[in-house]
Structure 1
């Protein structure tokens, strides 16, 4: 027999919970969800990040770099 198999049925040893499951269980089960205030703060943070990202992407340097990249890709000869 090349591989050892685990015993099945009533002779099998009971599975022990892993250490990380015991550690994570209280962390994951401690809170059922976000409250209204947390939703409001998360929404404001997401909107601020979106505004910052829009400002960066529409800036002259990024638009120029993307334009140069597209022109370079279109100028490739096959």
Structure 2
């Protein structure tokens, strides 16, 4: 499977002091942040690419999907 075919759910949390923290439940330890929504998404895309690159070099499997239930109170709806 090509890296371009992989899609991951990311969880974005607005920080109290501004900015956003983003995690990828399917990729343990894959976390990033940014001062804007767009910047945080750009940074997590880079983090995902790096995670996959290292996993491949180490011969480890690439996680594909972990389902994360969404609760309306956490989604800002």
Q: TM-score, normalised on structure 2?
A: 0.31
Greater share of strand: 2
Greater share of helix: 1
Higher relative contact order (CA 8 A, sep 6+): 2
Q: TM-score, normalised on structure 1?
A: 0.31
